[in-house]
Structure 1
Amino acid sequence: MNPVTLAAYLHEHIPISRGMAVSVLRASAAEVALEAPLGPNINVHGTMFGGSVSTLGLLAAWSVLHLRLEAEGIANRLVIHKTDVEYLLPVTGTAQALSSLDATDWDSFRHMLERRSKARLTVVAEIICDGLVVARLTGEFVAIAERQNEDKSRQ
């Protein structure tokens, strides 16, 4: 999936991304980079609202995992189980969220998903503004494999 296609997907299926004016800088099964301007995400202090910072990180982490599962042809339902966000500095301008997958963790995740049809994976997104890491989101995601052919044959 290329950046334009991912942006359209997010805006259609996760409408808050459209309201936040999220754009996609890079999109691959290995790394995702998203960006959001300050304007539609501003708070009463003139900095980015914490919920927008968190959502931007969550969208990046979810997207890289979604793209990897899609690239490997794994039909699934991907949901967030829990998140933790460290707010390190105020976000005073456009923010970028960068997320990538660890190969070792991926192999274990993939094995568990094949074996149990359900697996968890922790994905980190760093939020950057003016070249500084301003926040870090750690999200634990759960993928539930969909057994398309088996389910259809039983109907």
Structure 2
Amino acid sequence: MTPEALRTYLHDHIPLSRAMAVEVLEASANHVLLEAPLAPNINMHGTMFGGSSATLALLAAWSVMYLRLEAEGIASQLVIHRTTTEYLLPISGPAQASAHLDEAGWPSFRQTFQRRGRARLTVASELFYEGRPAGRLSGEFVAISEA
């Protein structure tokens, strides 16, 4: 899926991403890089609202998992089970969220999914502001077979 196609998918299926003006800079089955501007995500302190930055990081993690499932032809519903977010810096401008899929956990995830029709995998995402780490998210996702 191209970055443009992923952006359209997110905006059409997760309307909050459109309200946040999320853009997709990179999209593959191994890595996703998203960006959101400050203006639609600003808080009363002139920095990015914590909920917006957490959502940006969550969208990156969800997207890389979604793209891997799609690339491998795994028909499933993908939902978030739990997240933790750590904020490192205030974000006073555009923020980026980068998520990589943990290749070490993928074979076990696939095996469990094939056997049980559902499986969990934790995906990490990092937030960046002006090239510096500004936050981290860890999300546990569950894929549920559509068959």
Find the residue that maps to 1:11 and give its secondary structure: helix
Find the residue that maps to 1:12 and give its secondary structure: helix
Matched with 2:36 is 36
Matched with 1:10 is 10
Q: Deviation of residue 91 (structure 1)? A: 0.6
Structure number, greater radius of gyration: 1
Q: Deviation of residue 71 (structure 1)? A: 0.3
Matched with 1:45 is 45
User: Aligned partners of 2:91 and 2:12: how far apart in 1?
Assistant: 26
Matched with 1:107 is 107
Q: How does 1:30-109 map to 2 (within 5 A)?
A: 30-109=30-109
Question: Which amino acid in 2 is paired with 1:119?
Answer: A
Matched with 1:127 is 127
Matched with 1:143 is 143
Question: Which amino acid in 2 is paired with 1:64?
Answer: V
User: Aligned partners of 1:110 and 1:141: how far apart in 2?
Assistant: 13
Two-structure CA RMSD over aligned residues (Å) = 0.5
User: Aligned partners of 1:55 and 1:92: how far apart in 2?
Assistant: 16
User: Aligned partners of 2:58 and 2:105: how far apart in 1?
Assistant: 18
Q: Deviation of residue 102 (structure 1)? A: 1.3
Structure 2-normalised TM-score?
0.99
User: Aligned partners of 2:3 and 2:113: how far apart in 1?
Assistant: 27
Find the residue that maps to 2:29 and give its secondary structure: coil
Q: Deviation of residue 33 (structure 1)? A: 0.3
Provide structure 2 residue ranges, at least 5 long, that are not aligned to the other structure.
Answer: none
Structure 1-normalised TM-score?
0.94
User: Aligned partners of 1:47 and 1:79: how far apart in 2?
Assistant: 29
Deviation per residue, 1:82-130 (Å, 9 max, x gap): 0000011101110000001111111111111011111000000000001
Q: Deviation of residue 70 (structure 1)? A: 0.3
Question: Which amino acid in 2 is paired with 1:41?
Answer: N
Provide structure 1 residue ranges, at least 5 long, that are not aligned to the other structure.
Answer: 148-155
User: Aligned partners of 1:60 and 1:28: how far apart in 2?
Assistant: 11
Question: Which amino acid in 1 is paired with 2:134?
Answer: V
User: Aligned partners of 1:91 and 1:115: how far apart in 2?
Assistant: 43
The 4+ residue runs of structure 1 with deviation greater than 2 A are none
